[in-house]
Structure 1
Amino acid sequence: MWIALTILAAFMQSWRNAFQSELSQQVKVSGVTLARFIWAGPIAALYLFSLYQFQPSELPSFSYQLYAFVIGASLMQILATGLMVKLFQLKNFAVGAGLAKSEALVAAILGVLFFGTSLSLLGWIGVIIGAVAVMLLSTQRGVKRLSLNTIVLGIGSGVAFAFTSLWVREASLLLMTDSAMYDPIPFTHRAAWVLLSVIGLQTLILVSYLGIKDRATLLALWHRPRLTLSISVCSCIASIGWFSAMSLQAVPYVKTLGQIEVFFTMLISVFWLKQKVKVNEILGLVLIALAAILVMWT
């Protein structure tokens, strides 16, 4: 189940990134970031309502610790998305998405250090290969000419996404623990509650900020309803897949399998966005996929 959910999430995230890349040429970073959440809230609410109609369950209890995880994940995902959009503006779509996928490697390292995940020697080899791949993807004109700005933005986005994923999983597990005295809450319901909480807070933060500081960006999204809705729909479906999979399995394993996104990304980049991918960029994406396989193998 978690494998199927992860593949679904990776596929939809590839399309979300493609739409965000297109919108980033027309709208500011803050607006592109908001497009990810603005229509996702109602979709997430409808999804949660549907789950309870098909499988009635207990309502969860929310603790202060859960609120802390939700707030942390919400802020980190906003930061990560903003950094990724900046990547799209610096380099082409496929490379920007590839750099953001350093999240999987960072999540593996953080999982080992702070969340009790163990990696074998083969797993660590995968992590190293992934790090080399990120360096390769960060080159502007060959391996010897690295763009420090691109590296910093890519790794920063990956770190922020990794913290988002780790805290989302902790929030979902906390709902299961807090509800142990009642009937167990299904993983789908727990993931949906966390998703709705995170998206709701993110939308409130960004709409409030832009409403005060930059109403022109809100109007820019209003005048691009098709693209904005496409981003929100793809983002929400992807998040349903990610959040549900991470409720079942540890983040490093989910995110390393999620590296299959790089292949979807390359296909979209070449056949839909009509962008060329260089040889070293293809090699970097393939190495990231190899790193994912090695870490998953453990």
Structure 2
Amino acid sequence: MELWIGITFASAFLQNLRSTLQKHLKGMMGTTGATFVRFVFGMPFALAYLAFLHFGLGRPLPVPNMSFAVWATVGAMAQIAATFLLVHLFSFRNFAVGTAYSRTEPAQAALFALIFIGESVNGGTLAAIAISVAGVMLISVARTEVTPASFFTSIFSRTAGIGLASGAFFGLSSVAYRSASLALAPSLPAPDAMMQAGFTLVVVIVMQTVSMFLWIVWREREELWRIARVWKPSLAVGFVGATASFGWFTAMTLQQAAVVKALAQVEMLFAFASTVLFFKEKINRLELSGCLLIVVGVLSLLAFG
């Protein structure tokens, strides 16, 4: 098994765990605060990973260039925009439709990679991405009253537009992170995926932390006190989130972003496993069909990717 595959599976599991921990925090603070903790409490761990690679393992630090700076900034801001749009969806009655369209991230990442950096995927990989995306979209609306006909006709609705925009920004951020990380390779004696990923993560998470901190100070200053009161569980979110991000960045340095994000749809399977095993919830036929599509998509991706 190729290294990026194992890293992606581990990152998907950790991301699901981080989301679970974050849900508990949302009862203690607002959505902005719960989003901010993943950055501000993840930053020390990202710095620790980079310090360990450099001082512990003796790996040389890369020298950033203009290409790196541009792509890192684009990725950081695109991810924040995508997250805010996704959160905004929950204010709509039919948010499930928008959420489903936001899951088109892998397909949009493939498109952005072709447009901006000239990376293309073969037909088998593209089909695998489409199958896994269809599975995730099906799961997203499985417990709603949305019919197949109304789902596809809703593509011109405001909710679907916001969902597609969120998926677009997530896809753009993935391609940008890969591009930023790859831009560091020429400054090293030899390509080092872990060091490139670790350095990129630190720069990105610092930008995101500063940006969100300024926003909170300007618009939601009371969130800072709520965050301070629950710093211990927030540390857990930061640790798990930073570890997952380090994995994502490493995997996307080794493999195309669209392929990594398509394989990352296994996170939905982890989520359903925890739902059934720990919360004893039953899944319906549409959810089961969605899970099967994800499995088929992932297996196809491993075969053709």
TM-score bracket for the superposition, by shorter chain length: 0.7 to 0.9
Change in 2 beyond 3 A, CA 1:231/1:60: same
1:278 corresponds in structure 2 to 284
TM-score of the aligned structures, taking structure 2 as reference length: 0.83
Correspondence for 2:201 among 188, 192, 195: 195
SS of 1:62's partner is coil
- Provide closer, same or farther for how the CA distance between residues 282 and 35 of structure 1 changes in structure 2, counting only shifts above 3 A: farther
1:103, 1:161 within 8 Å by CA — same for their partners in 2? yes
Matches within 5 A, 1:202-221: 202-221=208-227
Preserved CA contact (<8 Å) 1:256 1:293: no
TM-score between both structures, scaled by the size of structure 1? 0.85
CA contact (8 A) 2:98 2:164 kept: no
1:14 positional shift:
0.8
Q: Distance in 1 between matches of 2:115 and 2:301?
A: 16
Q: Does 1:124 align with 2:126?
A: yes
1:74 aligned residue (48, 73, 76): 76
**Secondary structure of the residue that 2:59 maps to in structure 1?**
coil
Match of 1:110 among 112, 115, 138: 112
Distance between the aligned counterparts of 1:78 and 1:175, measured in 2?
23
Letter in 2 for 1:156: A
1:44 aligns with 2:50: no
CA contact (8 A) 1:21 1:88 kept: no
Which of 15, 18, 32 lines up with 1:16 in the alignment? Answer: 18
Residue 59 of structure 1, aligned match among 35, 58, 61: 61
One-letter code of the match for 2:181? S
Aligned pair count reads: 295
1:1-298 matches, cutoff 5 A: 1-86=3-88, 100-133=102-135, 135-139=137-141, 140-141=144-145, 142-146=147-151, 148=157, 151-177=160-186, 179=187, 183-184=189-190, 186-272=192-278, 277-298=283-304
Which range moves more in the overlay, 100-109 or 190-199?
Answer: 100-109
* SS of residue in 2 equivalent to 1:119: coil
CA distance in 2, matches of 1:216, 1:31: 9
Are 1:29 and 1:82, in contact at CA under 8 Å, matched by a contact in 2?
Answer: no
Q: CA deviation at 1:259?
A: 1.8
Q: Distance in 2 between matches of 1:99 and 1:224?
A: 33
Q: C-alpha displacement at 1:130, in angstroms?
A: 4.1
- SS class of match (1:36): helix
Distance in structure 2 (CA, Å) of the matches to 1:99 and 1:5: 26
Ranges in structure 2 where 5+ consecutive residues have no aligned partner:
none
Measured against aligned partners, the alpha-carbon deviations of 1:42-66 in whole angstroms (never above 9, x if no partner) come to 1011111111133213332222221
2:287 and 2:159 mapped to 1: Cα distance? 14
Instruction: Name structure 1 gaps, 5 residues minimum.
Output: none
In 2, Cα distance between equivalents of 1:82 and 1:168: 19
- Residues 272 and 82 (structure 1), Cα distance of their counterparts in 2 relative to 1, 3 Å cut: farther
Change in CA separation of 1:185 and 1:210 when aligned onto 2, cut-off 3 Å: same
Tell me which amino acid in the other structure corresponds to 2:21: F
Distance, in Å, in 2 between the alignment partners of 1:151 and 1:134 is 15
CA shift for structure 1 position 72: 0.8
How far is 1:199 from its partner?
A: 0.4
